Copies of this chain bind each other. A is one copy, B any other.
Amino acid sequence: MTIRSEVKKRTVEMLAHAGLLLTEEEQEKIEIADMGLGHLEVEGLQLFTYINTDRYCAKELVLFPRQTCPEHLHPPVNGEPGKQETFRCRWGTVYLYVEGEATPTIQGIPPAGKEDVYTARHEIILRPGEQFTIDPGTKHWFQASDEGAIVSEFSSTSRDEYDVFTDPLVRRLEGIDL
């Protein structure tokens, strides 16, 4: 099996376990984002976009155990405010960090050697049925607990190519396509 087919299979299985079904055609469109960093299991995530119109977007985010989405923010685009997004945990636990007052002891662990590009330290822990809305322009990163996590994302239009990452090495649109 290719890496893509293995990761896709694992993603589909996690979603199905949480009662979230994708058609075969949809499964082919799962995005495996390693963001050009080359260590998907550490930094990256798996996504499926249900719909992304010029008005709204809905996605499912799948994170393997301790997999981390690098810190970023959504800037204004074409005179429109940056993306506003609501994360709702469906399965597992997700540790979400946003700009703001630092939580004294956090559960998430920034990837080794990358502490300086994971600056947000205000912790929000989301378990199934819990949600949080991230305002536009707010730096954030998130990590799954030891069991992994599935997060539904409801948002304004998604324009990933404009996302601003703290880590200059990130190439948001790079992933595993084959």
Interface residues of A (CB under 8 A from B): 18-23, 26, 50-51, 53, 55-58, 84, 86, 88, 90-91, 128-131, 133, 152, 154-156
**A87 smallest CB distance to B (angstroms):** 10
Number of copies: 2
With A26-B129, A128-B21: A156-B55 Cβ-Cβ less than 8 Å: yes
Further pairs besides A51-B133, A55-B84, A56-B57: 12, Cβ < 8 Å:
A19-B20, A19-B90, A19-B91, A20-B90, A21-B128, A23-B130, A50-B86, A50-B154, A51-B154, A53-B156, A55-B156, A56-B84
Note all chain B residues with C-beta closer than 8 A to A21: 128-129
